[in-house]
Structure 1
């Protein structure tokens, strides 16, 4: 595990120091270079939280990953540089589904002049570190904000041309056993959204690109453009062209992707 290889993977060519300009630059570089993706879950391949396994997948093999991998790798790199980093246990859409969601997301806190929320594993909505304070800003095409809610929780919310999407967390060291259990559940349980549907996302400047099942969506500040993928070959091409992912085995997923799309959309497909 070489820090220089990670920095090369994300396209960062500076001399990293444990300061805010470096943190901002690393966050932007990682968010735009490494896609969020659940291809291994779809292919029934185990996803590890072990740092060396994450490094081998995301750096050596130039793949993407989900929050446990992306923020796990970012946290390792930041500590190597000398940052004060803590792992935080979060719950995506806890506001709708309750405390059972806790542990289904890993994010980071970095302490500098003040604490910052660092998260390169939520699909690319957060472009730069966000001060851990009640505030909001535009990370185009998203509007993002942090708010305080009952029970000592923070709520991170993103919104762009659709309903808000959020996760809740406490500013306290993560329950690592809970994170590990949720990581396992999300890989294997029939009700897991990552088992049920293929998801790949990436930010490119102020544009956000997503493949969700058969649908390729490109979103910017003006609006969204959606295209229905017509074949397994189109899926492979879309992953290569939009995310620089070479995973030809996803062709085997095409029948299940089509079946899922038909079940969700029927005649609207």
Structure 2
């Protein structure tokens, strides 16, 4: 007879099936040679970043997104939806592993928009991707919903710049109290300076860690993702963002336009037309 402890261990150690790589690559429009090279990593990362929108509709509508790969494929790959960082990067990690890359999940502390002395919890999912035969791993992240997000992976090298056109990024080491070095991703602004996005160490995180964080971010009454809509999409010539009912379009040259949507019905129309997000016909957004 199986004990409760043995049954629990079995549940925790069950290996999930691999991703449907054909369907995923078709979703992001990628048709290259399936080998674990730096060029494949770069091009798959960019194709995902522009192919699948960032959105937090599930928490806003009162549900917790599943991080099971099969569920992510049903939603993000086949369902005409996007997702937030845990969904996006779990899906990317599964695909990159299937392509032969070694992936280590990390957790970052968002510093974008933080005030002096603010200490936010580590809630952002990102990853290190190792290319066989290369000594330096890459920071990969397709789930940071902001204009300063990475379009391509960046080598883990302090002070080296990445020109992931039309954006520019760099990684720097920043001081903090702790035994591990702290890294900070920075994005180059239209004004010519560098703006911090998030900080992280190389402490590995596992999928169960993000199950807990995902639940917290989707259900905690103080979580911004539960109360306000955040949607992002990157196109060839602009970055679109929808925060609540405020629609912003930032062109590649940094110019920005902004307008307020009138009601939930217009939000749903914009989600479909501008962000490519398909929702059931009876969806009603909170007022």
- Answer yes or no: is the 8 Å Cα contact 2:67–2:90 preserved in 1: yes
Question: 168, 187, 191: which one pairs with 2:222?
Answer: 191
The reply on whether 1:33 has 2:51 as its aligned counterpart is: yes
Q: Which residue of 2 aligns with 1:131?
A: 155
Give the 3 Å change call, closer, same or farther, for CA 218–140 of structure 1 in structure 2.
Answer: farther
Length, aligned pairs only: 253
SS of the residue 2:222 aligns to: coil
The reply on whether 1:76 has 2:94 as its aligned counterpart is: yes
| Structure 1: gaps spanning 5 or more residues | 256-269
Question: 173, 183, 193: which one pairs with 1:154?
Answer: 183
Q: Which residue of 2 aligns with 1:54?
A: 72
SS of the residue 2:67 aligns to: coil
Offset at residue 233 of structure 1 (A): 2.4
Structure having the larger proportion of residues in strand: 1
The reply on whether 1:101 has 2:121 as its aligned counterpart is: yes
The reply on whether 1:119 has 2:141 as its aligned counterpart is: yes
Offset at residue 115 of structure 1 (A): 0.7
Offset at residue 49 of structure 1 (A): 2.0
| Structure 2: gaps spanning 5 or more residues | 1-18
C-alpha distance in 1 between matches for 2:278 and 2:80: 9
- Listed one character per residue, the Cα deviations across residues 13-57 of structure 1 (whole Å, up to 9, x for unaligned) are 122110011111101110001000000110012212222222221
SS of the residue 2:274 aligns to: helix
SS of the residue 2:161 aligns to: strand
SS of the residue 2:285 aligns to: helix
C-alpha distance in 1 between matches for 2:282 and 2:155: 38
User: Which structure has the larger Rg over C-alpha atoms?
Assistant: 2
Offset at residue 178 of structure 1 (A): 3.9
- Listed one character per residue, the Cα deviations across residues 113-151 of structure 1 (whole Å, up to 9, x for unaligned) are 221000011126211110111223444554422110124
- Which moved further from structure 2: 77-86 or 166-175? 166-175
C-alpha distance in 2 between matches for 1:137 and 1:118: 12
Q: Which residue of 2 aligns with 1:14?
A: 32
Q: Which residue of 2 aligns with 1:91?
A: 109
- Which moved further from structure 2: 144-153 or 10-19? 144-153
Give the 3 Å change call, closer, same or farther, for CA 84–107 of structure 1 in structure 2.
Answer: same
Structure having the larger proportion of residues in helix: 1
Aligned-pair Cα RMSD in Å: 2.2
The reply on whether 1:145 has 2:165 as its aligned counterpart is: no
- Answer yes or no: is the 8 Å Cα contact 1:157–1:165 preserved in 2: yes
Q: Which residue of 1 aligns with 2:10?
A: none
- Which moved further from structure 2: 159-168 or 209-218? 159-168
Offset at residue 251 of structure 1 (A): 5.5
Offset at residue 161 of structure 1 (A): 5.1
C-alpha distance in 1 between matches for 2:256 and 2:282: 25
SS of the residue 1:233 aligns to: helix
Instruction: Report the TM-score when normalising by structure 2.
Output: 0.81
SS of the residue 2:35 aligns to: coil
Q: Which residue of 2 aligns with 1:214?
A: 245
C-alpha distance in 2 between matches for 1:21 and 1:54: 25
